[in-house]
Amino acid sequence: MKNIILFLNLLVCSSVFAQVSFVAKSSRDKMGINERVKIEFTVNHDGDNFRAPSFNNFRKIAGPNQSVQSTWVNGKSSFSKTYTYFLQPTKKGKLEVGQAEIEVDGQVYKTSPIPIEVTSAVDNPGDGTGNQIDLSDAIHLVAEVSNYKPYLNEGISVVYKLYVSPTTNVRNWQSLDEPKYNGFWSQNIDLKRQEVKEGTYGGNPYRYVELRRTVLYPQKTGKLVIEPLSLDISVEVPSNKRDFFGRRLYDIAQKTVSAKSKTVDVKSLPQEGKPIDFSGAVGEFELNVKTNKTELLATESLNYDVIISGKGNLSLMNMPKPKFPSAIESYDPEHTENVKTSVSGMYGEVKDKYTLVPNTPGQFKINPLSFTYFDPRAEAYKTINSKAISLDVKANPNVATTSTNSTDTVQMNEQNKNYVSDITQLNFIRPETNLKSIESTPFFKSTLFWILVGVFTLMIPFLLVFRKSGLFQTDSKNKTNKHLDRLAKKYLSEAKSSIGQPEIFYTNLELALHKFLKAKLGIKTHELAKENLKIRLQDKSVDKADLKAMMSMIEKCELARYASAESHSMEEDYKKSSVLISKIDKQI
């Protein structure tokens, strides 16, 4: 009897002091975003106050389902209680199922977190138990690709359609996984409204709606994968229940569907017959070149427009670059695009607008412009050419010029040094002559000569003192700087008074900036090139922002003389220039 009691005591003690185990496990550690995972929390003692984790980044499909198992084998008892959940991820990445808690005999136990890696949608999703979810009889998401073997930079389209069986109703949906178009230039096409249409899928009648249209332009050759689009859909499915009038009742269920991934094999453009000037345009295009005038005065401006229109990769190609005669000054073009995108690709036109300024009068010819593109329909390269444009430039009575043509050069010699040509506009006019009087008296050993010698001898001590103090060395430079400062203020004032007259305003403003920089940097007129100014200002440790603003303002003055400008824009430029002069003056 004592042995029996001892055995029972040992059995009770072993069950009381047995270690509590509370663990969590998942049916998979890697899954697609359109799949489900089963999570089980198991404890080997009967506990209370079970608290599940918050399941962040997961949507609960079912649970908790509770099961209890108790066995007695060969005198040993075992007990387990399991809480089961079915979850579906709502985002991709490395996610984590948090800790669950349970209380056993007043002690709180926690499970370890479970890491789960969520990838893009898979073609055959599982339900978390190893079984595949059958969606074939209710709903389908299909991606239709217009061309599986396009050329490089040839546009294709992807249309996503949602097919729903006649016995199933869709309440709403939301996107779970946006497809990535690696290796493509992509643009979604806005759908004004989604219209339900009748169609067939697999030979059976279905209703469908177009959810999205996307245009793709492949940017590299080879096999490119279009990742699937995944949707979380609230679906009404018929049940076996009937209402009071015998009508079938519907249950609400959450379904995750995804379009299968698509592989596109992109062909490279043929090398045979490929022109040297080919710049990557693929499609069907037209070339148009025009000017707003063909007769003008020297130093007047005109517009030269290069327009490419048609259908193809308009926003991705390089525009052809025209070449102009050396006597015509050209500025960087203003690029504009009027391009729309439909399911068949981009269409419209792109334009480069050049501003040209002929400096000399004469007859000029702008050679034809050529443009080469690849036509994927004809599978061949095509080159189109514009017509040559002739310009008749007449002498401008307001500007001193020499009549010439595009092949002439201006020759300067000793007889016309005082002439200011259109090419050397920065030359100085010499106001003084070198004429000598025929009856002049020799200066050497004259009375004036000896007087000056005596005065200079008396001034030698004073000159030595001034030289030592440095005043003599800087006096001449200070006078020059003060003179240039006065000129800068003068031209700045004249610029202010000419607001509303672009050519006069920007000429005076440019002169004011040049005179100021010559005074501060101690440079000559021929050293006023922008690159030289930039280097000199950097050497003086001028603030980078102020330096950039000064260079931009000088460049704007050069351009604005030949283009129209608003009064308020001139007033802003005047204020900016005044502030710039003041700030740079303090830094040098």
CA pair distance 232, 255, nearest whole angstrom = 6
State the CATH number of the domain containing residue 156: 2.60.40
Band of residue 369 on the pLDDT scale cut at 50, 70, 90: very high
367-392 mean pLDDT: 94
Which is higher by pLDDT, 425 or 294? 294
pLDDT of residue 3: 54
Query: Per residue in 477-495, pLDDT tens?
Result: 555 556 656 766 777 887 7
Q: Which two tokens stand for residue 432?
A: 């003084």
Average pLDDT over residues 248-259: 75
Q: How far apart are CA 588 and CA 586, in angstroms?
A: 6
User: CA-CA distance, 89 to 117, in Å (whole number)?
Assistant: 10
Query: What tens digit of pLDDT does each residue of 275-304 get?
Result: 988 989 999 999 999 999 999 999 899 999
* Residue 15: per-residue pLDDT: 47
**Six-digit token pair at 550?**
């000064």
SS3 call for 333: coil
Residue 38 placed within a domain: yes
- Collapsed DSSP state (helix, strand, coil) of residue 451: helix
Of 566 and 469, the structure prediction assigns the larger pLDDT to 566
577 and 508 in a common domain: yes
Please tell me whether residues 73 and 157 are part of one structural domain.
no
pLDDT per residue as tens digits for the range 501-520: 888 888 888 888 888 888 88
Residues 47 and 84 in one domain: yes
Please report the pLDDT score of residue 483 as a whole number.
Answer: 62
199/150 same-domain check: yes
Q: Which two tokens stand for residue 16?
A: 């009381």
Indicate the pLDDT class of residue 467, thresholds 50, 70 and 90: low
Q: Is residue 173 very low, low, confident or very high in pLDDT (cuts 50, 70, 90)?
A: confident
Whole-number pLDDT of residue 510: 84
pLDDT of residue 431: 60
Q: Is the pLDDT of residue 475 over 90?
A: no
User: How far apart (Å, rounded) are the C-alpha atoms in residues 136 and 432?
Assistant: 101
Give the count of domains, the chain: 4
Is residue 413 situated within a structural domain? no
Residue 186 has pLDDT above 80, yes or no: yes
Which of 65, 89, 119 is the last residue before a domain boundary? 119
How far is Cα 376 from Cα 150, in angstroms, rounded to an integer? 8
- Predicted pLDDT at 153: 94
- Residues 308, 388 within the same domain: yes
- Cα torsion angle, 57, 63, 64, 65, sign: negative
Least confident span in 30-39, 107-116, 255-264, 457-466:
457-466
Contact in structure between 195 and 213 (CB atoms under 8 Å):
no
Same domain, 102 and 149: no
Question: Mean of the pLDDT values across residues 415-423?
Answer: 42
Dihedral of alpha carbons 291, 293, 295, 301, sign: negative
**What integer pLDDT is reported at residue 513 of this predicted model?**
85
- The reply to whether 169 and 105 lie within a common domain is no
- Let me know: does 358 contact 297? Beta carbons within 8 Å: no
For residue 413, with 0-12 CB atoms within 10 Å meaning exposed, 13-18 middle and 19 or more buried, which class applies?
Answer: exposed
Please check whether residues 218 and 300 belong to one and the same domain: no
In terms of domains, do 166 and 251 share one? yes
* pLDDT at res. 484: 58
* Amino acid letter for position 482: K
Q: Which range marks the domain in which residue 45 is found?
A: 21-119
Whether 420 maps to a domain, the answer reads no
Say if residue 413's pLDDT is above 80.
Answer: no
173 shares its domain with 261: yes
Q: How far apart are CA 120 and CA 92, in angstroms?
A: 7
Return the CATH number at 287.
2.60.40.740
The answer to whether residue 42 sits within a structural domain is yes
CA distance 319 to 306: 8
Task: Select from 346, 378, 394 the last residue of a domain.
Answer: 394
Cα–chain-centroid distance for residue 548? 23
149 and 233 in a single domain? The answer is yes
CA pair distance 96, 114, nearest whole angstrom: 6
What does the pLDDT look like over 527-542, one tens digit per residue? 777 888 888 888 888 8
Which of 357, 374, 394 lies at the terminal end of a domain, its last residue? 394
- Pairwise CA distance, residues 255 & 233, whole Å: 5
Please name every residue paired with 139 in a beta bridge, in sequence order, or none if there are none: 164
Q: Is residue 254 part of a domain?
A: yes
Contacts of 544 (CB under 8 A, 6+ apart): none
How far is the C-alpha of 294 from the C-alpha of 303, rounded, in Å? Answer: 10
Q: Is residue 100 part of a domain?
A: yes
Whether 468 and 579 share a structural domain: yes
Say which residues have a Cβ less than 8 Å from residue 308's Cβ, sequence separation at least 6: 281, 285, 286, 287, 314, 317, 319, 320, 349, 350, 351, 371
Lowest-confidence pick of 14-23, 236-245, 420-429: 420-429
Closest CA to 368 of 354, 382, 384: 384
pLDDT reading at 397 higher than 90: no
Q: Is residue 40 part of a domain?
A: yes
Asked whether residue 451 is assigned to any structural domain, the reply reads no
- Evaluate if residue 161 carries a pLDDT over 50: yes
pLDDT score of 45 more than 90? no
335-365 per-position pLDDT tens digit = 999 999 988 899 999 999 999 999 899 999 9
Crossing angle between the packed helical segments 447-469 and 471-497, to the nearest 10 degrees = 90
Which range among 7-11, 48-52, 569-573 shows the weakest confidence by mean pLDDT? 7-11
